[in-house]
């Protein structure tokens, strides 16, 4: 019996499959590899020869994070140096966000292929056709650029491919954000429950930020509108109490991870006092708590007396109720 010929999937089905794959991958693909993986997935619905995905502050005319596909590392510097003479960038900045734009729509071929921009930036790297989309997070001030390149001048990107990229852009950036924060929850188990997190550079400019973190900054510093922390970046490992908000930082490569959460009763305790509270509130005797923490039983007793006064409790039951209600106590 002759088999029926296989029916090729439609472009809508391919796009749906790509989107589903993006979100399914956030658990298995590490955040530092996600951009490259996502670009490879995008190639299954929009063929291209090379690509970049960069993020940064547009006013600085540079990317702080960049993923390249089939391009040399120095292409980033070449592209940044030519930003002021690149009309495609200006069109992306002033167009509706997430609108895919081709170079020929702003720089006619007859002029582009004779320009310094082509000769110095794109031509030497085999880039003949460009399709770019700019995503802007107004709250954090972050710009994300995805550019797809083709080396065949006769293979211009089509209207259908522009529509596909427009549909996928939202999911690219959101899947990346999900990947980062799922990884954060899985690998930073000592982060206080209910805490919100941002990644900042040495100046405090946001490189990633959870919406709840931005909400907290607006709530506790209502007059602050800059796209960065409203306070100096804490030293790595430092915890501060600021205007009723707890701020804790830790290193993350060249960046700093900053957590924030509303101050609770336990946040007034020292690190050693918190250790003792957690041990005692979970039913350990003075001797057991002392053995676990590595101090003398008398030290546990003395600390516990001061802890009762600080927290306004007078029994282990009240202490246990307090710790189980406090964010991050576990």
Rounded to the nearest 10 degrees, how much is the dihedral formed by the CA atoms of 320, 324, 327, 330?
Answer: 90
Residue 156 reports pLDDT greater than 90: yes
Q: C-alpha distances in angstroms, 200 versus 37, 136, 210?
A: 24, 17, 12
Range among 58-72, 127-141, 238-252, 295-309 rated most confident: 127-141
Residue range 237-255: mean pLDDT, rounded: 81
pTM of the predicted protein model: 0.70
Task: Walk me through the domains of the chain, giving residue ranges and CATH numbers.
Answer: 11-185 (3.30.450.80), 196-263 (no CATH), 267-325 (1.10.10.10)
Per-residue pLDDT of 131-149, as tens digits, reads 999 988 777 778 889 999 9
What does the alpha-carbon distance between residue 47 and residue 272 come to, in Å, rounded to a whole number?
58
């Amino acid at each position: 019996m002759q088999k029926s010929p296989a029916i090729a999937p439609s472009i809508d089905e391919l796009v749906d499959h790509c989107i589903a794959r993006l979100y399914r991958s956030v658990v298995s693909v590490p955040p530092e590899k996600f951009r490259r993986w996502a670009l490879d997935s995008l190639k299954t619905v929009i063929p291209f020869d090379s690509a970049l995905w960069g993020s940064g502050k547009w006013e600085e005319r540079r990317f702080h994070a960049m993923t390249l596909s089939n391009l040399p590392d120095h292409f980033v510097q070449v592209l940044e140096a030519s930003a002021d003479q690149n009309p495609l960038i200006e069109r992306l900045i002033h167009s509706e966000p997430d609108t895919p734009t081709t170079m020929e729509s702003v720089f006619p071929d007859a002029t582009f292929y004779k320009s310094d921009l082509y000769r110095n930036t794109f031509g030497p790297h085999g880039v003949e056709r460009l399709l770019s989309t700019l995503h802007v997070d107004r709250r954090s001030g972050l710009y994300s650029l995805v550019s797809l390149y083709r080396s065949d001048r006769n293979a211009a990107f089509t209207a259908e491919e522009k529509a596909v990229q427009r549909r996928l852009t939202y999911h690219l950036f959101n899947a990346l954000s999900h990947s980062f924060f799922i990884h954060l929850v899985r690998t930073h188990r000592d982060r206080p429950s209910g805490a919100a997190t941002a990644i900042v550079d040495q100046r405090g400019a946001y490189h990633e930020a959870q919406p709840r973190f931005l909400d907290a900054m607006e709530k506790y510093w209502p007059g602050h509108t800059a796209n960065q922390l409203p306070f100096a970046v804490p030293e790595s490992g430092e915890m501060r109490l600021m205007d009723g908000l707890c701020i804790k930082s830790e290193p993350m490569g060249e960046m700093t991870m900053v957590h924030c959460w509303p101050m609770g009763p336990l946040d007034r305790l020292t690190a050693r006092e918190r250790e003792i509270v957690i041990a005692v509130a979970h039913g350990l005797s003075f001797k057991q708590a002392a053995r676990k923490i590595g101090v003398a039983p008398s030290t546990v007793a003395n600390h516990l007396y001061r802890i009762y006064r600080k927290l306004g409790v007078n029994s282990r039951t009240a202490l246990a109720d307090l710790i189980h209600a406090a964010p991050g106590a576990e």
